[in-house]
Structure 1
Amino acid sequence: MARLKCCWIRKSREWALSAARTSAATGDGQSVTISFAGFNRAWAAWIGDRLEQRGHRVTYLRWDPPPHTPLADALRDLLLAPGKVLVILSEWYFQLGPRTHTEWNEALRDVVVPAQDRFAAVSITSAVLPTATAVFAAPELWPVAAAEAERRALAALGLPADRAGDPARSAGPRFPREDPEVWGGVPRRNVRFTGREQLLGDVYHQLQQAERGAAVCTLYGMPGVGKTQLAAEYVYRFGSEYDVVWWVPADKRATFREQLAKLAPALGLNTGHEYGERLRALREALRRGTPYSRWLLVLDGADEPEWLTELLPTGPGHVLITSRNRDWREYNSTMLEIPVYQREESIAFIRRRAPRLSRPDADQLADALEDVPLLLDQTAGWLGDSDMSIGQYLDLLGSGAEHVVKVSKDFPTAFPNAWSILLNQLKETVPESIDLLRLCSFFSSGTIPVRLLRELADRDLPPQFTRLLGDPLLWNRALNQLFKYSVVRREVHEPQADEASGGDTLYMHRMVHKMVQDDIPPEDREVFADVVRQALAAADTGRPTDTRQWPRYAEIAPHLKTASVLESDRREVQTLVLNTMRYMYLAGEYSAGLTLATATLESWRERLGETHPRIWDVSYHYANLLRATGNYAGTEVVDRAVMDHLVAERGFSDLDTLRAAAGLAADLRGLARYDEAHDLSRRILDGYTELVGEQDSRTVNAQNNLAVSLRLLGRYEDALRLDLSTLEARRALLRPRHAWTLYSEIHYATDLRLLGRYPEAISVQDQSARVHQQVMGPNNPQTLRADHNLALCQYRQGDRTRAGELLASVVRRAETALGESDPVTQTAALAYSAYGREHGVLDEARALCEAVGGRYLAVLGPRHPYTIGTNANLALILRAAGEREQSQLLMDEALDGMERAVGADHPWTLGCALNATAARNFAGDPEGAEVLSRDTVRRAREVLGERHPLTLSGLVALAADLRALRKRAEADKVEEEALAGLAASLGAQHVHTVSARSRTRPYWDFEPLIT
């Protein structure tokens, strides 16, 4: 019932903007009809709300008479409405049509003067209005505060103000001169916005009627049709009904994440500076509706829904999206197609933009430009200042202008010629604006950080740019000319408090971007591109491993391709390319990083030669990115070729050679050639120690990699000692929240867990996982690894519920951010499969395990320990499902295969042996089970120690096998030893201890180690 009531309240506040709606207010109040221009809807909503609170009945009538209807007739129609008619006076009310002041004065004298008792008015503008509006004696509301404005509006209607409404009522619209509590990124209001009334009403209707958590509306349509302008107008018309309005450019993933994260501190959320933590806190705050439930989030240019939906908030607020992509319908969004202008809208817009044009002229122009708003805006903008007749312009447009430009099929066909004419006009007025426009076109379309160009003012630049970039007056004049003709728009006007740098950020439509690029003479392209490349290089902080610098790299990265950075021989530009690759690797942007690295290798090999030092730099980053996707065989080919060449040319004791060797060692680890990887890692560490000393970060990195090799060899104690030393060194050399320091925390906690020291592991990993969320964000690959390890720590400690929830979250986030085939995703999925098996969800556990096993088989082959170990886990699922024969076969195969892959004494082999003892026992071979159990316990004691959980599990299994052979005395003795060891190392109430006490046979789950 409460939910139905809430829905009724929400629906009662809807606006049918194309027709009158009578409110449901009751009581003895009067009837008032509010007549308003759509542009001033917020004032009508506020005044109507104040009247309704006093029990008056309100009817809303949007003023938009058809152009051919006489004004006097339209005004008389207002008298058909109930009660007194309150007219909200503004320049917009009188511009609709458009009509002259003379026409208005005549109509007001004919209609309003004889019926003054039926009319009242308030003024919300300081603009000059028709002189006959004096008949209204309208009080001014725009210069006063809310309380006084309310008193004046009531007085104009002859109503008492003694029964004051509740000024703090949160459900009603706010006073229009008061911005929402939180407001950010919204473009300036387009004072030339025309028409679209039905569409605006449709957007409002869709968002208001949607269920909680499902209020998502997408405006889609072809380029230049005005999707962004419609969204902006919605914000200004309906913004008074929200407490939070936040506008986010969504055409580039990194920029979108960064700008969205800035909402968190604006909401007053207690977070750190890193946008990963902010995004996590923000989604939760919006979902809960705290501190604000009335929020509006606008995603502009969101053409890639697959990477946006993971951050799309739910909750009581609204999400408005502009996009060219119809696929948003697959993501539970309401779709509204935005067409070109209706002809009357086109005519009204043109005449407002270029008042000198007659209605027939506007009609001809609209027809020639296909009613496309962007074209109308740009063309009418300069025609309004020109003395060219419409006939001359149409002749010029039809002649094909100066050249033919090929554009995408979804561009309006009228655009090329219209653009050429506009470009000529710019050249004749402010020639420098063409240079600025061309510079902007070597950034990618959409958001352009044009401030980076201004920061080059003191650089050694070609003479044609020195004055433009160094003279603030000329710079502003050129910018203003581009704004004037709607060639670009200013993207953000109110800088956020924590922006790295201020200055202009522009938005260039992709149609304009292409036209500008195609207009540049071939001989001039390199000059313009080089200036932009210098600007991008100057913005490079040189610290891609510092998470605090990632927003800067996220801003730079989208522009590298357009600026043709790979064609530059400047060292600083090449360094920028390499640093961006490093950032993409650390930030988990593997696909984008591989694309950049592949293109760079191809370009630089041709420009610099196969053996240039820069090629080794690119190869290093390329191999890292490729290895991150699990393609170890591919990276080994790359790294071995580089290393062999460098060893032959420079020897092993060379920094470039050691770096290449480190990559090769990582490949060998991925290929399960652990002994080779260990030996090479040891040589690398010795080499760095000799060349740069023990305290250099490269030496510490080599020490970290040697510990990884030791862990994969099952030498957990040795790995622990080395990882602790590495962690301490990184904390001293770098900083506690540096990405590499945090990585060492994962490794150290992993060693503790593998040694059975679960409480210690949790104490390290729990804190580390929280910091990872804050510093790197929830979907960074390293954060996912941290959460995965924390879930395993919780699981081993016996906190199965929390572990299961966290594992499910890791799998979901990893699949979304990295894909199903990523090593992190597969490792987490295998762990979640084991969790499902233990909790009786066998079908899902089996499907997940088989999927992971199939991918390991395809990529790593049948003899890789990860493929073998996954089959060992599948055998446990089959046993739980009652398929014992197939389970025993798989367990025996896993034991044999793992021994061949990593040796008889490796912990993985011992784990497979533990499972195989159970299979033999259940199959009626207690003798075979006893023999294997004794051997497993002996080896586990030698490798892992007396108190390791795997050793103690082996003792529990051995006791069961002895009991099956009726060797009860020995069985009791072995069981007593096992229980005492478990109680001492894990605790008497630990899940493993309790399970052993109840004589439940233990098992072992294989866990791939992420390298």
Structure 2
Amino acid sequence: MGEEEAQLLFSRRLGSWDTIGGGEEEVMTMILGSLHHVPLAIIGAAAFMTETGTPPSAYWTIFRGSDEWAKRLLSRPFCEIQREADMTESILTTYFVTFNRIAQQMPIAADLLRIIAFFDRQNIPEELLSQCGLKGMDDPIEFRQAIGKLLAFSLVTAVKREDTTLYELHGLVQLSLQVYLPTEQLDQWRRAALEVVSRLFPRCENEWRYIGPAYIPHALAVTKYMTDPIAEELIFRMGQYFLDMGSYNDAEIQSRRCIALREEGKEYDWDEDGRKRFILLGAVTAYQGKATVAEHIFRNLLGDIEPSLGPNNPDVLQSVNYLAMVLRHQGKYDESERMNRHALDGYEEVLGPKHPNTLTCVSNLAEVLQRRGRYIESEATNRHALEIRAKILGLDHPNTLISANNLALVLDCQGKHEESERVNRHALEGYEKVLGPDHPDTLSSVNNLAEVLEHQKKYIESEKMNRRALEGRKRVLGPDHPDTLLSVSNLGAALRGRRSYDESEKMNRLALEGREKVLGPDHPDTLVSVSNLAFVLKDQGKYDVSEAMNRRALRGYEKALGSDHPWTLISVQHLADTLRSRGKYLESEAMNRRALEGHERTLGPDHQDTLTSVNNLAVVLEYQGKYDVSETMNRRVLQGYEKTLGSDHPWTLMSVQNLADTLRSRGKYPESEAMNRRALRGRERILGPDHRRTLVSLDRLALVLQYQGKHDESEAVMRSVQQRRSKIPDRP
């Protein structure tokens, strides 16, 4: 019957019972939905409530408490007050009559119904029934006759989704069948359902993505009460599926179920299959961000298996590779690289250089090289992995996209921002198509794209991408996962670029607190947050606190990464900037020279970080009145940017303006005017006539014109500045 009729029948059967209402209406709707608006079921539920004085909310709590309680409620005899007093029956009795009738008319339909009862009752794929192994079900005519009989009795319903037919079993029918079947048949049909799902559940990652989602609910249902090896093996495959899909908490549940079954069951031993359960648990724990726990799992496992299996056993190599990964996550880069190279040597010897496992190891090695600041070597290693993966696996395979993503990251680290953005966007499009928008790997790609956009000063788009990554990671990974905290940190950087200093400080403090708690105070990522917070504090004029934070970050980097690591040198540069802002010019100059020498040695003379150091040294030299050396430095910066970025890049134009200012300070007014006009023309063309930096160039042009006695022209330029500023906000 319809919903309104069901509500009317339910209310009428409760009679004058006056406790209905007061929030019970919503509960009544849920009860009626669970009873599928079946009249006899509604009458039985109302009778129980009336006879026992049970309010709907209490009945609903009992009904959904467990399957056993629901069966007892539905099996309870009740007296229909409109019939003779001795005509008592239960809700389930009527279904029993129907089951018997089907068994007499068409035994194969009855068997099909019995096996369906142990699947999840919703979204049952047709192939799960037609390929269930029952005699005749592989014959399309016999299958249609059997399923047609169940449809005719309204025990199952067919649902069309796109080009797929799915079947659903009414909840009351499922409960009734499990009461109806004798104990020995319960075990028989539960096992039959398990064997069907185990046989059809995909066994490789290429099928998981497309077939797995349809079978997971049924795999969970058929393994719920089973403990035998078939169930344990299916649970393991579900764990692998959840890991591949990025559902790390679900993967952990399944991997721990496997281990618990093996520890409790006498039919298991800790053979090759047993080892793989611990490898799965360790991998899941690593991806959950629990690097310390994962390290403990893999070290214990290697201690157990390596002495007996040898260093080149595939399970040993896989464990070593995962251990290298979790060491990298903890900032233990030296040991991580050693472990990666050990695993890579073994894989190349045992599996060959082009095996997928070997390439995974190559990719992991590239990541740790990038973390160690060896960008050129990391780029070459990433390109090697990407080229082979694209050829063997295809451009859109998740592992190929990982290599593309990692390549984009190391390109960004080298200042190759435009190429990095192109590779990032390709990787992100692939991830969205193959894995979906909320997979952890997709969100990592969003995060990396946000970073490279921020490095190109595209702050608005960077903020948008950072917020998307952060919201997704909070939802999928949780607020304290290291990847979530990375997104918090990156959002803080984008907000700083947009001059939202208060909100940036808030985000940076949130990232720092989270990283100190999760990673520890000396982890390189924690030190990044210390450095970023120092940066935004300097922007707010809080120079003393900023200096203290910068010194803390620098000490940490020197200890964890060494004095020549790119992150250490950037920290030196940040401290130099803060010291300049505090008027400590001599110490700032010394720090700038240290940063410049380190960048030239490790990155080369034309790297953007090197040129930034040259530029900052030029500024502090000018503050000290050392205009001749400052001019030399500014000319070097300009030549470097013209060579690497082109003449119209915003950074090149900034360098032109800086040189113009230095020339003005040296009294070289005509050349200063020429440089000012060049900077102005470029900024008007690239940034627009009303951009903040364009107006700075106009201001400086007016000043150098004034110095040359060109007062009328200077005043005209100043009027133009005032008119433009009157039309726009102070902050673009």
TM-score category of the 2 structures, normalised to the smaller one: 0.7 to 0.9
- Give 1:729's aligned amino acid: I
Give 3-state SS (helix, strand or coil) of 1:446's partner. Answer: coil
- Give 2:90's aligned amino acid: A
Q: Residue 817 of structure 1 is aligned with which of 454, 470, 476?
A: 476
Following TM superposition, by how much is the alpha carbon of 1:690 offset from its aligned partner in structure 2, in angstroms? 0.7
Post-superposition Cα deviations, 1:741-790, rounded to whole Å, max 9, x if no partner, equal 11111111111111111122122222222222222221111111222222
Which residue of the partner structure matches residue 456 of structure 1?
132
Distance in 2 separating the partners of 1:590 and 1:645:
25
Distance in 1 separating the partners of 2:281 and 2:149:
44
Following TM superposition, by how much is the alpha carbon of 1:369 offset from its aligned partner in structure 2, in angstroms? 4.9
Following TM superposition, by how much is the alpha carbon of 1:834 offset from its aligned partner in structure 2, in angstroms? 0.8
Which residue of the partner structure matches residue 556 of structure 2?
897
Post-superposition Cα deviations, 1:829-885, rounded to whole Å, max 9, x if no partner, equal 211111112212223222222222222111111111111111111111222222221
User: Is the contact between residue 454 and residue 497 of structure 2 (CA under 8 Å) also seen in structure 1?
Assistant: no
Q: Residue 456 of structure 2 is aligned with which of 779, 784, 797?
A: 797
Following TM superposition, by how much is the alpha carbon of 1:569 offset from its aligned partner in structure 2, in angstroms? 5.0
Following TM superposition, by how much is the alpha carbon of 1:473 offset from its aligned partner in structure 2, in angstroms? 6.7
Distance in 2 separating the partners of 1:731 and 1:837:
38
- 1:384-533 equivalences in 2 (<5 Å): 406-407=68-69, 418-431=90-103, 432=107, 435-449=111-125, 451-457=127-133, 465-466=134-135, 469=137, 479-492=147-160, 496-497=162-163, 499=164, 505-533=166-194
Which residue of the partner structure matches residue 543 of structure 1?
204
- With over 3 angstroms needed to count, the CA separation of the structure-2 counterparts of 1:551 and 1:906, relative to structure 1, is same
- Is 1:850 equivalent to 2:509 in the alignment? yes
Post-superposition Cα deviations, 1:7-54, rounded to whole Å, max 9, x if no partner, equal xxxxxxxxxxxxxxxxxxxxxxxxxxxxxxxxxxxxxxxxxxxxxxxx
Give 3-state SS (helix, strand or coil) of 2:563's partner. Answer: coil
- Give 1:407's aligned amino acid: W
Following TM superposition, by how much is the alpha carbon of 1:974 offset from its aligned partner in structure 2, in angstroms? 1.8
Unaligned runs of 5+ in 1: 1-191, 200-217, 230-339, 351-364, 373-403, 458-464, 1002-1011
Distance in 1 separating the partners of 2:638 and 2:234:
60
- With over 3 angstroms needed to count, the CA separation of the structure-2 counterparts of 1:406 and 1:536, relative to structure 1, is closer
Q: Give the share of equivalent positions with the same residue, in percent.
A: 22
- 1:112-123 equivalences in 2 (<5 Å): none
Which residue of the partner structure matches residue 666 of structure 1?
325
Following TM superposition, by how much is the alpha carbon of 1:725 offset from its aligned partner in structure 2, in angstroms? 0.6
- Give 1:690's aligned amino acid: E
Which residue of the partner structure matches residue 655 of structure 1?
314
Compute the RMSD of aligned alpha carbons.
3.2
Give 3-state SS (helix, strand or coil) of 1:422's partner. Answer: helix
Which residue of the partner structure matches residue 258 of structure 2?
600
- 1:117-516 equivalences in 2 (<5 Å): 193=2, 195-196=4-5, 222-223=29-30, 225-226=32-33, 367-370=43-46, 406-407=68-69, 418-431=90-103, 432=107, 435-449=111-125, 451-457=127-133, 465-466=134-135, 469=137, 479-492=147-160, 496-497=162-163, 499=164, 505-516=166-177
Following TM superposition, by how much is the alpha carbon of 1:478 offset from its aligned partner in structure 2, in angstroms? 5.1
Which residue of the partner structure matches residue 729 of structure 1?
388
- Give 1:537's aligned amino acid: S
- Give 2:645's aligned amino acid: L
Distance in 2 separating the partners of 1:752 and 1:415:
73
- 1:552-591 equivalences in 2 (<5 Å): 552-564=211-223, 567=226, 576-591=234-249
Post-superposition Cα deviations, 1:941-961, rounded to whole Å, max 9, x if no partner, equal 111111111111111121222
Give 3-state SS (helix, strand or coil) of 2:46's partner. Answer: coil
Distance in 2 separating the partners of 1:565 and 1:196:
36
- Give 2:498's aligned amino acid: H
User: Is the contact between residue 652 and residue 658 of structure 1 (CA under 8 Å) also seen in structure 2?
Assistant: yes
Distance in 2 separating the partners of 1:512 and 1:857:
54
Following TM superposition, by how much is the alpha carbon of 1:916 offset from its aligned partner in structure 2, in angstroms? 0.6
When the two structures are aligned, how many residues end up with a matched partner? 612
Task: Say which structure is richer in helix.
Answer: 2
Distance in 2 separating the partners of 1:954 and 1:371:
83
Distance in 1 separating the partners of 2:72 and 2:412:
57
Distance in 2 separating the partners of 1:568 and 1:771:
39
Q: Residue 984 of structure 1 is aligned with which of 618, 643, 666?
A: 643
- With over 3 angstroms needed to count, the CA separation of the structure-2 counterparts of 1:522 and 1:886, relative to structure 1, is farther
Following TM superposition, by how much is the alpha carbon of 1:523 offset from its aligned partner in structure 2, in angstroms? 3.5
Which residue of the partner structure matches residue 614 of structure 2?
955
Unaligned runs of 5+ in 2: 9-24, 49-65, 79-88, 662-732
Following TM superposition, by how much is the alpha carbon of 1:219 offset from its aligned partner in structure 2, in angstroms? 8.8
User: Is the contact between residue 219 and residue 227 of structure 1 (CA under 8 Å) also seen in structure 2?
Assistant: no
User: Is the contact between residue 565 and residue 577 of structure 1 (CA under 8 Å) also seen in structure 2?
Assistant: no
Distance in 1 separating the partners of 2:645 and 2:123:
57
Following TM superposition, by how much is the alpha carbon of 1:714 offset from its aligned partner in structure 2, in angstroms? 0.9
- Give 1:505's aligned amino acid: L
Following TM superposition, by how much is the alpha carbon of 1:793 offset from its aligned partner in structure 2, in angstroms? 2.2
Distance in 1 separating the partners of 2:269 and 2:298:
14
- With over 3 angstroms needed to count, the CA separation of the structure-2 counterparts of 1:566 and 1:764, relative to structure 1, is farther
- 1:649-798 equivalences in 2 (<5 Å): 649-798=308-457
Distance in 2 separating the partners of 1:479 and 1:414:
30
Which residue of the partner structure matches residue 6 of structure 1?
none
User: Is the contact between residue 74 and residue 91 of structure 2 (CA under 8 Å) also seen in structure 1?
Assistant: no
- With over 3 angstroms needed to count, the CA separation of the structure-2 counterparts of 1:584 and 1:367, relative to structure 1, is closer
- With over 3 angstroms needed to count, the CA separation of the structure-2 counterparts of 1:444 and 1:889, relative to structure 1, is same
Which residue of the partner structure matches residue 54 of structure 2?
none
Give 3-state SS (helix, strand or coil) of 1:924's partner. Answer: coil
Following TM superposition, by how much is the alpha carbon of 1:221 offset from its aligned partner in structure 2, in angstroms? 5.3
Which residue of the partner structure matches residue 633 of structure 1?
292
Following TM superposition, by how much is the alpha carbon of 1:699 offset from its aligned partner in structure 2, in angstroms? 1.3
Give 3-state SS (helix, strand or coil) of 2:316's partner. Answer: helix
Distance in 2 separating the partners of 1:411 and 1:828:
50
Q: Residue 614 of structure 1 is aligned with which of 273, 288, 292?
A: 273
Give 3-state SS (helix, strand or coil) of 1:505's partner. Answer: strand
Which residue of the partner structure matches residue 667 of structure 2?
none
Post-superposition Cα deviations, 1:481-510, rounded to whole Å, max 9, x if no partner, equal 544454332233xx623x4xxxx5222344
- With over 3 angstroms needed to count, the CA separation of the structure-2 counterparts of 1:823 and 1:860, relative to structure 1, is closer
- With over 3 angstroms needed to count, the CA separation of the structure-2 counterparts of 1:409 and 1:899, relative to structure 1, is farther
Distance in 1 separating the partners of 2:73 and 2:570:
63
Distance in 2 separating the partners of 1:535 and 1:775:
28
Distance in 2 separating the partners of 1:197 and 1:995:
75
- With over 3 angstroms needed to count, the CA separation of the structure-2 counterparts of 1:418 and 1:877, relative to structure 1, is farther
Distance in 1 separating the partners of 2:229 and 2:279:
20
Which residue of the partner structure matches residue 292 of structure 1?
none
**Higher RCO (C-alpha 8 Å, min separation 6):** 1
Q: TM-score under structure 1 normalisation?
A: 0.56
- With over 3 angstroms needed to count, the CA separation of the structure-2 counterparts of 1:520 and 1:624, relative to structure 1, is farther
Distance in 1 separating the partners of 2:604 and 2:611:
10
Give 3-state SS (helix, strand or coil) of 2:90's partner. Answer: helix
Distance in 1 separating the partners of 2:71 and 2:502:
48
Post-superposition Cα deviations, 1:869-921, rounded to whole Å, max 9, x if no partner, equal 11111111222222221111111101111111111111111111111111222
- With over 3 angstroms needed to count, the CA separation of the structure-2 counterparts of 1:219 and 1:473, relative to structure 1, is farther
Give 3-state SS (helix, strand or coil) of 2:123's partner. Answer: strand
Following TM superposition, by how much is the alpha carbon of 1:224 offset from its aligned partner in structure 2, in angstroms? 5.3
